[in-house]
Amino acid sequence: MLKRFLAAGGILFALGMSLAAAELVLATTTSTYDTGLLDALNRAFAELFGVKVKVIAVGTGAALELAKRGVVDLVLVHARPLEDRYLAEGWLINRRDVMFNDFVVVGPPEDPAGVKGLTAATEAFRRIAAAKARFLSRGDNSGTHFREMEIWEAAGIEPGGKWYLISGKGMGENLIQASLMGAYTLTDRGTFIAMRKNLDLEIVVEGPVKGGDPLLMNPYGVMAVNPARFPDRNYVLAMAYIGFLTSPQGQRIIAEFTVEGEPLFYPTALKADPDFSEYVPRDWRG
């Protein structure tokens, strides 16, 4: 019994030494980075595991492509149809729901398209297009851009022309540019709240967090790179991070992360009743 105990202790010690020397590479959205949430989460993770988390903050599409190339260990993103594609193709595994916030349409205080107070994002987009009011798109295949294009499609409009502008920037930079230009744009609520003091923009169409359009719901999921495809990636640490994000401690950090008392994200990982659809592509039939 003593020999077994000592052997187990040696394994744990070696694992601890390995973790201490390791680095975890996370590709994630600019929204989680720009809000400061990741700083809070990664500090707590480092305290638990002694591991530095290297963050690559890009759009969801770019984050998923980094996973497909085996450049990162895991991703934290927010475009479920895209996530499902990469899961189905076998690049990523072990998906978990983490949290949600919502998208909102923001615009200049003078509201040239007259959309403030509308309850449907599609109607707001139609009015913006009809008025040829400036609209700034991220245009970067991010989760926000993906949702924006879904709204245009649902509105029956193919945006284009001098009024429709593309920044190619992350969420924070896109908001700054839209503010300077007096343009409408789509943003996640969390990034807008974190930056609103420095923006000349207002929310003109609410998402479901404040009782608005359900089309603007914005869920986030985390997934590990498939170790069968990329055995050199740090799958053990990736799963430790997924476990941390979805643990009571990780979920509490998300719930308590606020700006001026207002939450930026809402945790969703802890469920008394299992929801197996979170683990696999939603159209998976077994």
230 and 184 belong to one structural domain = no
For residue 276, count CB atoms less than 10 angstroms from its CB and return exposed for 0-12, middle for 13-18, buried for 19 or more: exposed
Domain coverage including residue 109: 102-216
User: In this structure, is residue 285 part of a structural domain?
Assistant: no
107 and 212 belong to one structural domain = yes
User: In this structure, is residue 31 part of a structural domain?
Assistant: yes
**Residue where a domain terminates, one of 216, 239, 267:** 216
96 and 164 belong to one structural domain = no
Q: How far apart are the C-alpha atoms of 233 and 223, rounded to whole Å?
A: 13
151 and 141 belong to one structural domain = yes
| Tens-place pLDDT, residues 57-84 | 999 999 999 999 999 999 999 999 999 9
125 and 72 belong to one structural domain = no
**Residue where a domain terminates, one of 196, 216, 236:** 216
Is the four-CA dihedral 170, 220, 40, 200 of positive or negative sign? positive
CATH value at residue 209:
3.40.190.10
- Which are the contacts of 75, defined by CB distance < 8 A and separation ≥ 6? 26, 27, 28, 63, 64, 66, 67, 92, 222, 223, 225
Phi/psi at 91 (5° precision)? -80, -30
**Residue where a domain terminates, one of 216, 250, 268:** 216
- Amino acid letter at 222? V
Looking at the chain, the whole-number percentage of residues with pLDDT higher than 90 is 87
Please state, rounded to an integer, the average pLDDT across all residues of the chain. Answer: 92
Q: Considering the entire predicted model, what is its pTM?
A: 0.87
User: Can you tell me the mean pLDDT for 270-275?
Assistant: 93
Q: How confident is the model at residue 7 (pLDDT cuts 50, 70, 90)?
A: very low
| Tens-place pLDDT, residues 160-207 | 999 999 999 999 999 999 999 999 999 999 999 999 999 999 999 999
The three-class DSSP label of residue 173 is helix
Looking at the chain, the whole-number percentage of residues with pLDDT higher than 70 is 92
The first and second tokens of residue 12, run together, are: 């744990």
User: In this structure, is residue 286 part of a structural domain?
Assistant: no
The first and second tokens of residue 142, run together, are: 């991010």
Q: How many domains does the chain have?
A: 2
CA distances, 68 to each of 55, 58, 91, 238 (Å):
17, 14, 6, 15
